[in-house]
């Protein structure tokens, strides 16, 4: 009897693999994407909506046998483009960048160290506000661990431009912070 | 200004080609100024990452308050559909055995039976007419009609006047097998 049977070749294994792949990516990249979108100026709710839309797109992309290469930069690019739908807050926040809350208690052992660390933090904050939008985006994506090539794919610019932009931005920060 | 100073960040980020990185590395080991620059760039890079993380911390903490992201139900539904499909389908498919087609040998039909086309009846199921079991037998062979006076078969007064019967006889091998009266 068993000799008469043959395995059924359905797209089911591929389907299940896609779901697992998307779930894994969601777990790994959800927070980096949220951070980046918030850095672009989106509110928490807006960032969450964009991230979820990006993963829905990923699900469709994988189901349609889309390329699985450079999936990290693919997701960042989809999220980056999705953020443009919130153009109002995007423009507003990129004009007045990140507003971090300095947590002195976590980084200093003595009150003097806390004061110095806070001064340093605010100096850096001031220097970051002097960066242009492209420089800030490059540094945010770099902070998320993306390679220059990936950053270029997300922002739609050549890798050499990313390299120049990152170099210039880091030099600016170093000069403004007197380090 | 050193020649390598424009490539220090890319060198730190391991973005240079192997031969180019080797040149920069060799220079940095020998150049005190570039070593300071590298240290400064590393510090502001760490500072930027900390600043960036601090600025977006509130979003990450708020993110956990959402019960069900829209993405999760879609995945769950997709997985459930997949499992259902898997459960419904047989694990293996048995190919139907190949049966050689044998033509049934029938005697040639010499004449088609005359059949009256059945008109479909609106609103009713159309059922094909079935012949009575003995219809063929009745129609087979020549019909012999024999007129027999009713008085000789029935008692007087049993049959109303003016009524006659036709007897159908079934004959086999010259002997009567059955008599059927038809009014």
pTM over 0.90: no
**The complex's ipTM?**
0.78
Domain boundary among A56, A77, A92: A92
Residue A170 sits in a domain of what CATH number?
1.10.10.10
Q: Please state, rounded to an integer, the average pLDDT across all residues of chain B.
A: 66
- Tell me the three state secondary structure of residue B177: strand
* Helix B32-63 and helix A111-129, axial crossing angle in degrees, nearest 10: 90
A5: nearest CB among B6, B55, B92:
B92
pLDDT at position A153 over 80:
yes
Q: pLDDT for A77-110, tens place per residue?
A: 999 999 988 766 555 555 455 555 555 445 567 8
Q: How far is CA B25 from CA B21, B30, B45, B91, B155, in A?
A: 6, 9, 19, 60, 138
| Number of domains within chain A | 2
- B41 CB-contact burial (10 Å; exposed 0-12 / middle 13-18 / buried 19+): buried
Residue A47 sits in a domain of what CATH number?
1.10.1740
Establish if A60 belongs to a structural domain. yes
Residues in A 115-144 with any Cβ partner in B closer than 8 A? 120-121, 124-125, 127-128, 139-140, 142-143
Domain boundary among A92, A127, A151: A92
pLDDT band for position B149 (cuts 50, 70, 90): low
Establish if A2 belongs to a structural domain. no
Name the DSSP letter for residue A111: H
Q: Please state, rounded to an integer, the average pLDDT across all residues of chain A.
A: 80
Establish if A1 belongs to a structural domain. no
Strand partners, A7: B92
pLDDT at position A15 over 60:
no
Q: Please tell me the predicted confidence (pLDDT) of residue B41.
A: 95
Please tell me whether residues A86 and A109 are part of one structural domain: no
Dig out the tokens for B127 from the structure. 């059922």
- Highest averaged pLDDT of the listed ranges B73-77, B139-143, B158-162: B158-162
Residue with tokens 């004449």: B111
SS3 content of chain B, % helix, strand, coil (to 5): 45, 10, 45
Q: pLDDT for B60-96, tens place per residue?
A: 776 655 545 555 555 555 555 555 555 555 554 444 4
Of B102 and B149, the structure prediction assigns the larger pLDDT to B149
Give the distance from CA A169 to its chain's centroid: 18
Q: Please tell me the predicted confidence (pLDDT) of residue B97.
A: 47
* Helix B32-63 and helix A44-63, axial crossing angle in degrees, nearest 10: 90
Residue B94: list chain A partners with CB under 8 A: 1, 4-5
pLDDT at position A28 over 50:
yes
Helix or strand run (H / E) with residue B93: strand B92-93
The answer to whether A83 faces chain B, any CB pair under 8 Å, is no
| Containing structural domain, residue A59 | 11-92
Dig out the tokens for B96 from the structure. 């139907």
Dig out the tokens for A10 from the structure. 């359905």
Distance CA B25, CA B44 (A): 20
């Amino acid at each position: 009897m068993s000799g008469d049977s043959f395995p059924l070749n359905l797209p089911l294994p591929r389907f299940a693999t896609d779901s697992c792949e998307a779930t894994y990516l969601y777990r790994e990249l959800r927070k980096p994407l949220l951070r980046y979108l918030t850095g672009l100026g989106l509110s928490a709710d807006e960032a969450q909506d964009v991230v979820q839309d990006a993963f829905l797109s990923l699900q469709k992309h994988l189901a349609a046998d889309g390329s699985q290469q450079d999936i990290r930069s693919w997701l960042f690019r989809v999220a980056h483009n999705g953020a443009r739908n919130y153009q109002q807050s995007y423009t507003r926040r990129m004009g007045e960048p990140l507003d971090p809350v300095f947590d002195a208690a976590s980084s200093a052992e003595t009150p003097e160290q806390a004061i110095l660390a806070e001064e340093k933090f605010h100096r850096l904050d001031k220097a970051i506000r002097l960066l242009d939008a492209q420089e800030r985006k490059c540094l945010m994506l770099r902070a998320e661990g993306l390679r220059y090539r990936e950053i270029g794919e997300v922002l739609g610019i050549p890798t050499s431009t990313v390299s120049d932009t990152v170099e210039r931005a880091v030099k600016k920060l170093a000069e403004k912070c007197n380090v | 200004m050193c020649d390598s100073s424009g490539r220090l960040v890319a060198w730190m980020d391991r973005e240079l080609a192997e031969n180019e990185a080797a040149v920069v590395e060799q220079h940095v080991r020998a150049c005190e100024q570039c070593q300071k620059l590298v240290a400064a760039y590393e510090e502001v890079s760490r500072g930027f990452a900390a600043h960036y993380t601090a600025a977006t911390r509130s979003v990450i903490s708020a993110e956990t308050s959402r019960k069900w992201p829209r993405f999760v139900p879609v995945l769950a539904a997709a997985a459930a559909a997949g499992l259902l499909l898997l459960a419904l389908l047989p694990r293996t498919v048995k190919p139907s055995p190949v049966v050689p087609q044998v033509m049934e040998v029938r005697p040639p039909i010499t004449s088609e039976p005359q059949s009256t086309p059945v008109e479909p009846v609106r609103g009713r199921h159309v059922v094909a007419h079935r012949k009575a079991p003995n219809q063929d037998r009745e129609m087979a062979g020549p019909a012999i009609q024999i007129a027999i006076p009713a008085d000789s078969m029935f008692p007087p007064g049993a049959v109303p006047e003016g009524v006659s019967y036709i007897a159908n006889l079934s004959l086999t091998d010259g002997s009567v097998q059955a008599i059927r009266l038809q009014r």
